[in-house]
Amino acid sequence: MNNLRKHDEKTSDNVQEQGIDDLPTARTNESATAGDGGKRTDYLQWSEYFMAVAFLSAQRSKDPSSQVGACIVNNENKIVGIGYNGMPNGCSDDLLPWRRSAPDRLDTKYPYVCHAEMNAILNKNCADVKGCSLYVALFPCNECAKLIIQSGICEVIYMSDKYATSLESVASRRLLSMAGVHLRKFVPQCRHIVIDFESINSSAGVEFDPKTSHGSAVTNVETVDPPEIVEQTG
């Protein structure tokens, strides 16, 4: 996975010293060039691209309180699995509960929901994910850590570790470290990545009328933690 790590290590010192509010916004309809006839210079780096895919995937989740996405990448920078948190196939997400707390735990989402990491691994489009990297919005729980280890994933890049003190996260970190899975906190180079569905028409010289057009756009996909570098190895 050296090629992936080299891409991520290109984060500038300036970005590391900035707060999240100081980071720029990347938009798909803006094109900066190195000069006349040159290539764009504002394209997404691999790490930003993969984490953005994870965040975009999370928008498919029907969980009202937590939307998490995951993206699995092989050592050729190819996506081999995507997933988000949701109920198992064939189980109605209209009938099963989504609440976080209730007198009876069976009336909460926790006994039923499949996490993003699980779905990404099960949705793989290859024979296995051994040696792959996993990009995920939230640090994996202990149950997902078991799946990550058993599947052979060698690296986890996460955005938020807001439940770091929970028993599940502590156990997860212990398992992943013991198994030698490399853990790395994602360092964003921009605060937002905006998908503008209008840009394809405006760039072609065609006016886009929002009053007569239908669809939805993912905008202002905001990262959740200030950037910092935390690397751990087992």
Query: What is the set of active-site residues?
Result: 117
Tokens of 91: 């189980």
Nearest-CA neighbor of 74 among 162, 26, 4, 169? 4
Compute the Cα dihedral for 182, 85, 50, 190 and give only its sign.
negative
CB 85 within 8 A of CB 118: no
Whole-number Å distance between alpha carbons of 76 and 152 = 16
